[in-house]
Amino acid sequence: MKNLYEALPQQSLLREKIKRVMDSIYLDTQLNKCVWYVRKLGDVRKLGLSYDDPSIANFLDRESLTGEDLEKYIESVEDLTIRGIKKFHKLPKNSKLLYTLKIDEELICHDKDYLNYLEGEFKEKIFKDTKTGICHLCGNKDKVSNNTTWFKILKFFNTDKQGFANGLTKENFIKNFSFCLSCYEKLLAGQSLIVNKLRAFLNKKEVFILPTFLVPPTMLNIADL
């Protein structure tokens, strides 16, 4: 949350909300990591949590935490929080948890500033320090990348065996296949369509449906992807 706060524009309403939350119930660890400050949470039993554990109780009267005590506190809060949530929702102990956050009953993941932040992160990491070249998809001359980190199901070429690289040099993988920003965004949109609309399970195995479009492509709403 701290990293998101620092990345948002100064005038962002979401940034103001996050600042209010951090000031209210979070302990700033100075480690680019924020954890709940138990003393500020009040009655956490309504959250399905209990901090009666000695590993937490020992820290309740401290005005500040540093060094080894801080590390132990962070580990204890994280462990007890995860165990408490699983117990409250009757989840198996070995289950994996995915989280989302609400502030003032509004999901952060639906906030426009947050979506712009994610889009910027995708573009910055994929096209950072790229050079001008020819996009293999549209043929235009532009900044191009061959970073397929966010392509989970789209597989274009081998990128970990140097013998498959142009000229047998790993730096030349970009000559095998590269794309501009515009095509990259379209590839991500297509991947999102496949994962969200064309995925199914057969005998507990993930399968993807090959569609025959019975309606004009213009009837597909890109915003719903």
Residue 149's pLDDT is: 82
Q: What percentage of residues in the chain have a pLDDT greater than 90?
A: 21
Does 198 lie in the same domain as 142? Answer: yes
Cβ–Cβ < 8 Å for 49, 84: yes
User: How many domains does one find in the chain?
Assistant: 2
Mean pLDDT computed over 125-139: 90
Handedness of CA 160, 162, 165, 170 (dihedral sign): positive
pLDDT, mean over the chain: 79
* Separation of alpha carbons 175 and 134, rounded Å: 9
Quick one: pLDDT band at residue 58, thresholds 50, 70, 90? low
pTM, two decimals, is: 0.60
Residue 58 lies in a domain: yes
Does 94 lie in the same domain as 6? Answer: yes
Residue 116 lies in a domain: no
Cβ–Cβ < 8 Å for 177, 207: no
**Quick check: 55 pLDDT over 70?**
no
Q: Last residue of some domain: 109, 137, 166?
A: 109
Beta-sheet pairing, 205-208 with 199-202: antiparallel
More confident residue, 23 or 117: 117
**Quick check: 171 pLDDT over 80?**
no
Residue 134's pLDDT is: 93
Residue 120 lies in a domain: no
Does 151 lie in the same domain as 72? Answer: no
Q: What are phi and psi of 31, to 5 degrees?
A: -120, 25
Does 165 lie in the same domain as 90? Answer: no
Does 133 lie in the same domain as 97? Answer: no
Mean pLDDT computed over 140-156: 86
Does 142 lie in the same domain as 90? Answer: no
Quick one: pLDDT band at residue 153, thresholds 50, 70, 90? confident
- When mean pLDDT is compared across 27-36, 165-174, 178-187, the lowest value belongs to 27-36
Residue 218 lies in a domain: yes
Question: Residue 6 has which token pair?
Answer: 């620092």
Question: Residue 189 has which token pair?
Answer: 């949109």
Residue 98's pLDDT is: 81
Q: Give the range of the structural domain holding residue 62, as residue numbers without chain letter.
A: 2-109
Does 56 lie in the same domain as 6? Answer: yes
Q: What are phi and psi of 143, to 5 degrees?
A: -65, 130
Residue 8 lies in a domain: yes
Would you say how long the chain is, in residues? 225
**Quick check: 139 pLDDT over 90?**
yes
Of 13-17, 61-65, 117-121, where does the model show the most confidence? 13-17
Does 165 lie in the same domain as 87? Answer: no
Residue 177's pLDDT is: 84
